[in-house]
Amino acid sequence: MTPPVPLLEARNLTMRFGGVVAVNNIDFTLREVELRCLIGPNGAGKSTFFKMLTGQLTPSAGTIAFRGTPIAGAASHEIARLGIGIKTQVPNVFNGLPVRENVWLAARRRNTPVQAKRLVDEILEKIALTPRADDLVGQLSHGQRQWVEIGTVLAGEPDLILLDEPAAGMTDEETVRTAEIIREINQTRALIVVEHDMQFIKMIAKTVTVFHQGQILMEDKIDAVMHDERVRDVYLGKKVAA
Amino acid sequence: MTRFAGRPLLNWAALAAAVAALIAVPEFVEIFTLMQFTLFAAMGVLALSLGFIWGYGGILSFGQTAFFGLGGYAYAVSVINLGDSTGAIGIAIALPAVFAAILGYFVFYGRISDVYLGVITLTVTLILFNVVNATAGDEYRIGAAALGGFNGMPSVPTFNMPGNPSMVLDPTQGWYATGGALIFVYVALRLLLRSPFGRIAVAVRENEVRASLLGYDPRLIKLGVFVVGGAVAGLGGALYVNWGAFVSPTIFALSLSAEIIIWVTVGGLGTLIGPVVGCFMIQYLDSQIGTQQTFNSNLALGAILIVFVLLLPQGLIPTLRTLAGRAIAAPSRTAAKTTVAERPAEARQ
Amino acid sequence: MDLAFIIALDVLNGAASLVLLCLGLAIIFGMMRVINLAHGEFVMLGAYATVISANAGLNIWIAMLVVAPLFVGVVGIVIERCLIRFLYGRLVDTMLATWGLSLLIVGLVTTLYGNTIKGVPTPLGGFSVGAYKSSYYTLFLAAVALVMLALVYVVMRRTRFGLVARATMQNPGMAATLGVNPSRIYMMSFGIGAAITGLAGGLLAPVSGVVPTMGAAYVAKAFITVVGGGSAILAGTASASGLFGLINQLGSYFTTPVFGEVILFISAIILIRILPQGISGRFFKGSL
């Protein structure tokens, strides 16, 4: 029996900006319906990695395959159509459009008008923004815009969801709710979550990949990572000291 | 979208009023005024084309007259060859659309930035002007039609009843055709904006990166918007040539390109009615200035454009809407419901 | 042989005119990122200043080389203070306002002087190469273009103003913390760009039709040259002017002047498509 094709597989992935190597020759594999957390200090290459996965950057070297299809250097919309959705670090939404329209735009692409409408209503409930469905997103709070973006990503029904700091700027209550939603999504879909908040990671994570200076420092179960000396040095240690 | 979807009654009333005005105008005005209104309506179609691509697609074309002029010439050449205006109007719409598709492919798929888009559309307009200007002499003919170079093409046959070349429209019927086309294009664009394509186009204008991360190809969407704009401008060109029974290279003039931009800026970017209102007002003003000799109309147009950019960048219609919204003290929910239409600033970035 | 020489002179002439036309725009657009659609009208104002003062009895050389740049430079500073400075960073609004400005200036000049004005004769006279004739003025234009390139280089590279100006364009906030007044620098740069453009207008006055609408022909040419040249104002302007001058003159020679211009425009569009960063972005990275 041949081993199953992984959902996502990156090989020798490298991104250079001029003389700076932001991502340096990393290998990364994700199974179907896996939940992975990425941690690492600022500048470790996590966001660059996400940008390569979504076609916003073309890797300097290396390959990325999504279910066996090569996607390195493909256009963002082509990758999105294959089934990768992203919530970026700074809310990247249609500020000038109503909440409902934001979610609809994502829902409409794969659905009939009737299905799309139903999906939008469902998601508005899930992100608790039904009462503000007709307000412009630009008028919402930062936290609410994060929710709009999460809702938008969900409405696109991707098989792999990338979340860049989903809990940033959220209240404790919202953070717990975000973790719940992530676990729920993970019933059927794979996720990669970048997060700094270790409390949050503990709520959701099984396996954690640690980025450091553009390379993968280690990849292991959450408990092993949290007790690892090297990780403490480069990341947690720093954070405690700070 | 929500703004209009929520008020269908008002929309129907406005449409009925527009049609009623279309029908009633010939009863009340002299033939000279009617002809002038016909010209305004033809230009109104041109205004809509830029209002659509700039306001809803975020594409600032400095050369919308390229499509307008191509439409005009395509109409003139085909009506002379075909002898019937029915197909000629179709060609006048199709040819600029195809041209817009080619140019748009080149620009949007070449990832040429917005600033250069302006430079390129401007340059293309100049190219067309130069080329057509140089076609004086008998060797430049397309079928039976001599292009005439800088002299233009005189005595272009005007519109006839569809399929019946012997029944040429009289000025009143010409007004119905032109004014009717303006209303038709307005309604068609309104509907297009409420369709998935229109809503996605607005999303692309709002945030291109987000749209592509959702799986929409911004290049394709922009190309679509640009082609629609080209087709509408082409129709405007045919209406314009029908009005004057004449076409010359000045139809490609940069001064006209500038004027369209002024119409849209004055009337209000991000609305469809604004560009039409701006077009009518500026053209009326232009015709009034034309009747006296003390100062040049460029002077007035330039001053108006500067004043609007500096002091009233939103344009008349959005400003009036904001004021009206305040005056009737609508509940804050309604105010919050304002759509992209009131956000021209974004479209300009 | 004689013909080749004359064609070479024509190419030189075309390139020199483009350099003169574009240098001011390269400063205003290339450095300050202000899209000045009234650029053609600055040329026109320079030409009018020359023609009017020469017709009033002033020496033609003084009219071209002193009056035109001074007058347009002052006009530029006034415009920067009254209009442009409110629009920095608002690219599209700047385009719209300067287009309005362009109409305004055309309208104003038409109102004041009518649609035509008596021109000035081309100074210096001509010379013959075999059966072909050319004028010394062509050579003079080329010389002035070279001098202007050198002058801008020296000012930008070797003077305190040049250093401060380049620093301000890079980072106005940082420059301000160093005690520079960015607003003043912008004003001066715009004025200098305008003055150079006025000089171009003055120099072109004897060899072109001086009418209020003459600017329209220049604005697109100047823009595609600057855009085609890319961000390095000198290397870009010089190389794009050379290339486009060559294309324009050869095209004109083998077809007609009108199609020469058309060929120029088409090649410029293709160049922008192939090299979005311009010639200097590809070949002269980091030069001035």
Nearest to B119 among C102, C105, C227 (CB): C227
Give the count of alpha carbons within 13 A of B275, CB side only: 30
Strand (E) or helix (H) holding C1: none
Confidence band for C234, pLDDT divided at 50, 70 and 90: confident
Residue A130: count other Cβ atoms within 10 Å of its Cβ: 13
Domains of chain A and CATH, by start: 1-83+163-170+192-242 (3.40.50.300)
Q: What is the ipTM of this complex?
A: 0.88
Q: Collect all residues with Cβ–Cβ distance below 8 Å to B21 and sequence separation of at least 6.
A: none
The pLDDT of residue C84: 86
Please give the share of chain A, as a percent, with pLDDT higher than 90. 47
- CB-based contact B113 C276, cutoff 8 Å: yes
- CB-based contact B119 C261, cutoff 8 Å: no
- CB-based contact B111 C269, cutoff 8 Å: no
- CB-based contact C101 B348, cutoff 8 Å: no
Name the nearest CA neighbour of C140 among C16, C245, C39.
C16
Say yes or no to pLDDT of B333 above 50.
no
- Report the gap between the CA of C97 and the closest CA in chain B (Å): 5
Over chain B, what is the mean pLDDT?
A: 85
DSSP-H helix ranges across chain B: 2-5, 8-28, 31-55, 64-82, 85-108, 114-133, 171-194, 196-206, 208-213, 218-244, 254-267, 273-290, 297-311, 316-327, 332-336, 344-348
DSSP-H helix ranges across A127-197: 142-155, 172-185
Say yes or no to pLDDT of B334 above 50.
no
| pLDDT tens, position by position, B227-263 | 999 999 999 999 999 999 899 998 988 888 888 999 9
Name the nearest CA neighbour of B43 among B212, B245, B264, B201.
B264
- CB-based contact A92 B202, cutoff 8 Å: no
- Report the gap between the CA of B181 and the closest CA in chain A (Å): 30
Nearest to B112 among C216, C266, C276 (CB): C276
Nearest to A94 among B210, B333, B338 (CB): B210
| pLDDT tens, position by position, B56-110 | 999 988 889 999 999 999 999 999 998 888 899 999 999 999 999 999 998 888 7
CA diameter of chain A = 55
Chain B residues whose beta carbon lies within 8 Å of the beta carbon of residue C110: 296, 298-299
- Whether chain B has a CB inside 8 Å of the CB on A95: the answer is yes
The pLDDT of residue C11: 80
Mean pLDDT of C243-266: 81
Query: What's C122-140 look like in SS3?
Result: CCCCEEEECCEEEEHHHHH
- CB-based contact B339 A98, cutoff 8 Å: yes
- What is the distance between the alpha carbons of residues B153 and B135, in angstroms, rounded to a whole number? 11
| pLDDT tens, position by position, C62-104 | 888 888 899 999 999 999 998 888 888 787 888 888 889 998 9
Highest-confidence segment of A81-95, C105-119, C144-158: A81-95
Is the Cα dihedral C22, C28, C32, C38 positive or negative? negative
In this complex, whether C and A touch, counting 3 or more CB pairs under 8 angstroms, is no
Mean pLDDT of C203-210: 84
- Whether chain B has a CB inside 8 Å of the CB on C99: the answer is yes
Q: Which residues of B touch C (CB under 8 A)?
A: 60, 106, 110-116, 118-120, 122-124, 126-127, 130-131, 133-134, 254-255, 258, 261-262, 265, 294-306, 309-310, 313, 348-349
Please give the share of chain C, as a percent, with pLDDT higher than 90. 12
The pLDDT of residue B2: 42
| pLDDT tens, position by position, B163-218 | 888 888 888 899 999 999 999 999 999 999 999 999 999 999 999 999 999 999 99
The pLDDT of residue C268: 82
**How far is CA B345 from each of CA A91, B72, B121, B211, B279, rounded to the nearest angstrom?**
20, 33, 22, 19, 21
**Residue numbers of chain A with a pLDDT score lower than 70:** 1-3, 235-242
The pLDDT of residue B77: 93
The pLDDT of residue B344: 42
Confidence band for B5, pLDDT divided at 50, 70 and 90: very low
Neighbours of chain C (3+ CB pairs under 8 A): B
Alpha-carbon dihedral angle through residues B248, B252, B258, B261, given to the nearest 10 degrees: 110
| pTM given for the model | 0.87
Say yes or no to pLDDT of C174 above 50.
yes
Chain B residues whose beta carbon lies within 8 Å of the beta carbon of residue C102: 258, 302
In this complex, whether C and B touch, counting 3 or more CB pairs under 8 angstroms, is yes
Identify the closest residue of chain B to C108 by CA–CA distance.
Answer: B299
Nearest to B112 among C107, C111, C273 (CB): C273
| pLDDT tens, position by position, A165-204 | 888 777 888 888 888 889 988 999 999 999 888 888 888 8
Give the count of alpha carbons within 13 A of B137, CB side only: 7
The pLDDT of residue B7: 66
- What is the distance between the alpha carbons of residues B104 and C273, in angstroms, rounded to a whole number? 12
